[in-house]
Amino acid sequence: MNAPSPSAPVFPFELIRADLEVVEAAIRDQARAFDPAVEGYVAYVCQASGKRIRPALALMAGGATGGKTEEHTRLSVILEMVHIASLVHDDIMDGAATRRGLPTAAAKWGSALSVLLGDALFARALELATEFDDTHVCRSIARASRDVCSGEILQTQRRFDLNLSVPDYLRMIEMKTAALFAAASGLGARLNGVPEGVEKALFSYGMKLGTVYQIYDDCLDLVGDEAKAGKTLRTDLAKGKLTLPVLFLLMEATDAQKQKLNKMLLKGEPMDTGILAGIADYEGAIEKAVRYAQDMLAEARAELVCLAASPYKAAFEQIADYLHDLLGQCRAA
Amino acid sequence: MNAPSPSAPVFPFELIRADLEVVEAAIRDQARAFDPAVEGYVAYVCQASGKRIRPALALMAGGATGGKTEEHTRLSVILEMVHIASLVHDDIMDGAATRRGLPTAAAKWGSALSVLLGDALFARALELATEFDDTHVCRSIARASRDVCSGEILQTQRRFDLNLSVPDYLRMIEMKTAALFAAASGLGARLNGVPEGVEKALFSYGMKLGTVYQIYDDCLDLVGDEAKAGKTLRTDLAKGKLTLPVLFLLMEATDAQKQKLNKMLLKGEPMDTGILAGIADYEGAIEKAVRYAQDMLAEARAELVCLAASPYKAAFEQIADYLHDLLGQCRAA
């Protein structure tokens, strides 16, 4: 197979590069809002600069609907802090030693401190959210945050559960991942007082983009190249996480094949894709997940019709196109 | 020694018994706000009925300043949910097997799910807080929640640290315990549109009461009777938690005694009070902590002068008097 192997996404955020740096500085400033004894821990987990997708979406929504304001920076900081808090807690649960090349908080200071650190970040983010005059903004942020937690609970609970349905899976990743994307783009528009239809359309764009982003991440875990992805892959199945391609595969599997997979999952045996490839149509299942995600991107793109032409609208389209191309590189290895 | 040994507090909440039942039902209802798959976990941790001190203070503050409303019930539910969330996370860190006679969430479902469950409760509480028209209320709840987490971080961080000063300790328990008490009584008054001075006075009453409550709990750990306290005692020192009586003891200890204690703490050896009793004036240190807390109760009581006479004002006084008497029973065994 000569297709390039899919890599970690590097989103086309050039248009808002400078604004993202302002957000970055504002996130650093937030560490200082904590008790001096706590500040160092907060600064550490905030520094490991991620892709800042949620801030980018909030800023772009601002740019596309009348202009980015100080409120868009605040929204960006809040959503990223909620995201960082959830990562701090994820790393405890996964026993992860590093994240983006740095030791995780859990590895450095143990899980007790990391539980509290995540809590403190989360509480501070929601405290900042109360500073918006529009209480709907604060409420939406709190709801999205609850969705992130509930989605993670569902995922933890449904590990190793071969009865997980595709709609269950989609609801789970909408809560776990897409809710914050949707809050970013939807509220980014709302802050500019757009008509309700525009806010809803951008909310929906974010929800769809977030869902696709998670499906891409799931496919990457199965077929990606570790060096290019910049992280350990092939871990979802060993952890009992059933993702979209695997669910499609299960739909095609015979009862005997399902039983075999079930036994292996329950034993907690590490599972490589070679084993999957022996069950039903593995390649076809990856392809089906890719197509599902690409169709959803087309829907996300269609939501943008309510926006007047602008470099920001174009950037929203580019992000969808970029993920579309990345998905196209996902082929069973 | 013939003094009765101090027991778990049973606060005189008769006046608001019926209102507390309404709060109890409202907390149960909150479980239904979650995804059906998450609801059962939430219902479980909310059922283990605690003393509901925070709701009681919020309701009493309402009663004392113009009447309890539906908003006081909401405030009560929110503060209790934040408290429950913090207990769920505490139990993970302490590896606690039971709480109030029931298995903890951590013991039943493991720490991964419990981290998320605490997060979800916390996020839901702050989501509910956004429903107040007065954004100051929501902001104060978020700030108090952050204080709870920061206080717990400080405590975790300062374990086994013999340099912990009395002011450091007091700041820590103000954040960890008293902040939610203060939010309960202060905001309970604010919801009735009281003058700022009254809100501040009741906030201060809650802060002092909460501080004393924690000092009592710390003394109980040293000198209480397990059967009467209804929980495992003598665990603070083994965990490296230095509390007010121990800090007073350290102030009196010679350098040699401090070094001995330090070595024992660092070895993580379980420490019984017999060892403490051999260092400087153990009995005097307990006595000093008790007197410190009783003086603070007098200050808390003085804050009530701004309230018109009412059964609720009398109930606030009774609670202070009740804790005063309980403290009086704390004598080195």
ipTM of the modeled complex:
0.83
Flag if A35 and B154 touch (Cβ within 8 Å). yes
> Which of A34, A132, A149, A241 should be substituted to probe chain B, the one whose Cβ sees the most B Cβ atoms within 10 Å?
A149
| pLDDT tens string B230-287 | 777 777 877 888 899 989 988 888 888 888 777 777 776 666 666 676 777 788 889 9
Which runs of consecutive H residues, i.e. helices, occur in chain B?
Answer: 17-31, 36-47, 53-64, 70-94, 105-129, 135-157, 166-173, 179-190, 196-223, 226-229, 244-252, 255-266, 273-277, 282-302, 311-328
Flag if A115 and B154 touch (Cβ within 8 Å). no
Give CA separation, B221 vs A153, B167, B170, B279, B297, in Å. 35, 21, 17, 18, 20
Which residues of chain A does B138 touch, with a Cβ-Cβ cutoff of 8 Å? Answer: 130, 135, 138
Classify residue B279: in a domain, yes or no: yes
Cα of B250 to nearest chain A Cα, Å? 23
CA angle B215, B221, B226 (to 5 degrees): 135
Mean pLDDT of chain B: 89
Q: What share of chain A is helix, strand, coil (3-state, %, to 5)?
A: 75, 0, 25
| pLDDT tens string A210-229 | 999 999 999 998 888 777 77
Cα of A161 to nearest chain B Cα, Å? 14
Classify residue A124: in a domain, yes or no: yes
The proportion of chain B whose per-residue pLDDT surpasses 70, expressed as a percent, equals 94
What is the span of the domain harbouring residue A255?
A: 15-328
Residue B4, pLDDT score: 53
CA angle A42, A43, A47 (to 5 degrees): 120
Mean pLDDT value across residues A35-39: 84
Residue A18, pLDDT score: 94
Distance CA A317, CA B56 (A): 54
Residue A134: name the closest of A87, A176, A79, A193 by CA: A193
Classify residue B310: in a domain, yes or no: yes
Mean pLDDT value across residues B48-72: 94
Flag if A113 and B38 touch (Cβ within 8 Å). no
Classify residue A150: in a domain, yes or no: yes
Which residues of chain B does A89 touch, with a Cβ-Cβ cutoff of 8 Å? Answer: 115-116, 119
Classify residue B8: in a domain, yes or no: no
A254 or B231: whose pLDDT is higher? Answer: A254
Q: How confident is the model at residue B5 (pLDDT cuts 50, 70, 90)?
A: low
Q: What are phi and psi of B103, to 5 degrees?
A: -55, 140
How many domains, in total, are found in chain A?
1
Residue A1, pLDDT score: 37
Residue B298: name the closest of B309, B290, B308 by CA: B290
Distance CA B226, CA A250 (A): 55
Mean pLDDT value across residues B173-202: 98
Facing B150 at nearest CB: one of A118, A120, A150: A120
User: The domain spanning residue B285 has which CATH number?
Assistant: 1.10.600.10
Inform me whether the pLDDT recorded for B215 exceeds 90.
yes
Cα of B147 to nearest chain A Cα, Å? 8
Classify residue A333: in a domain, yes or no: no
